[in-house]
């Protein structure tokens, strides 16, 4: 029953590139992040805060103009404008989406990064019943050169999030990620 109630809201969560693991192991390896990895970590966190602050204009500034969300699926959202339109309910707070980066890796020529961490989505039925689900997001960031801003290029698709019993459980899941760059 929970799955059917979450189905209309699964797309926003899928847009964050879910992984199937029910629990996210974070920062257990003791590795220290590089300055560029921390820069991406901070951008990811600020990106999430733009949603929490219901600011579509700021949200859009984190997106590459040709970004693809729900990437590697049959229903990708292409381009900044379409992604912002698809996220209208989330940015407005009609669907609550909270995420935090857990791990960031910079690779290639130093201008491409991947960010991964926990998220939760909260929805409310017309009768006022709240539902919570958790998952893991993955996003790919890029910058033109070492002096330019990191922008989200890809946000991958994946399976629907796993339902949890309460908001406290959902919040605890996201709180497993570090609050500052490791």
**Tens digits of residue pLDDT in 85-136:** 999 999 999 999 999 999 999 999 999 999 999 999 999 999 999 999 999 9
Can you tell me the distance from the alpha carbon of 87 to that of 91, in angstroms, rounded to the nearest whole number? Answer: 6
The tally of domains found in the chain comes to 1
Can you tell me the distance from the alpha carbon of 104 to that of 47, in angstroms, rounded to the nearest whole number? Answer: 14
In a domain, 26, yes or no: no
User: In the chain, pLDDT over 70 holds for what percent of residues?
Assistant: 81
Structural domain span for residue 60: 2-6+15-21+31-174
In a domain, 128, yes or no: yes
The model's pLDDT over 14-37, given as tens digits with 9 standing for 90+, comes to 334 433 333 333 444 456 889 999
Can you tell me the distance from the alpha carbon of 12 to that of 41, in angstroms, rounded to the nearest whole number? Answer: 21
Can you tell me the distance from the alpha carbon of 89 to that of 34, in angstroms, rounded to the nearest whole number? Answer: 35
Average pLDDT, integer, range 39-62: 98
In a domain, 179, yes or no: no
Can you tell me the distance from the alpha carbon of 19 to that of 7, in angstroms, rounded to the nearest whole number? Answer: 17
Average pLDDT, integer, range 145-170: 90
CA max distance for the chain:
52
CATH code of the domain covering residue 134: 3.10.450.50
> What 3-state DSSP class applies to 144?
coil
In a domain, 93, yes or no: yes
Q: Please tell me what DSSP assigns to residue 19.
A: B
In a domain, 106, yes or no: yes
- The pLDDT assigned to 23 comes to 34
User: In the chain, pLDDT over 90 holds for what percent of residues?
Assistant: 74
Least trusted range by pLDDT, from 21-25, 61-65, 153-157, 178-182 = 21-25
Average pLDDT, integer, range 44-71: 97
- The pLDDT assigned to 15 comes to 39
In a domain, 79, yes or no: yes
- The pLDDT assigned to 72 comes to 86
Can you tell me the distance from the alpha carbon of 68 to that of 148, in angstroms, rounded to the nearest whole number? Answer: 20
- What is the torsional sign of CA 78, 81, 87, 88? negative
- The pLDDT assigned to 92 comes to 97
> What 3-state DSSP class applies to 123?
strand
Average pLDDT, integer, range 39-68: 98
In a domain, 180, yes or no: no
In a domain, 159, yes or no: yes
- The pLDDT assigned to 44 comes to 97
């Amino acid at each position: 029953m929970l799955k059917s109630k979450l189905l209309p809201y699964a797309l926003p969560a899928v847009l964050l590139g879910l992984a199937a693991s029910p629990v996210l192991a974070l920062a257990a390896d003791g590795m220290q992040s590089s300055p560029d990895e921390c820069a991406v970590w901070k951008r990811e966190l600020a990106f999430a805060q733009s949603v929490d602050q219901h600011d579509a204009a700021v949200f859009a500034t984190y997106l590459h103009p040709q970004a693809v969300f729900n990437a590697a699926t049959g229903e990708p959202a292409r381009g900044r404008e379409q992604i912002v339109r698809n996220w209208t309910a989330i940015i407005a707070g009609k669907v609550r989406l909270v995420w935090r980066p857990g791990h960031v890796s910079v690779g290639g020529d130093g201008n491409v990064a991947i960010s991964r961490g926990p998220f939760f989505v909260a929805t409310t039925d017309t009768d006022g019943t709240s539902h919570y689900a958790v998952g893991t997001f993955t996003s790919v960031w890029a910058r033109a050169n070492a002096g330019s801003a990191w922008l989200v290029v890809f946000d991958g698709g994946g399976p629907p999030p796993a339902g949890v019993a309460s908001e406290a459980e959902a919040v605890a899941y996201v709180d497993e990620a570090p609050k500052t760059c490791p």
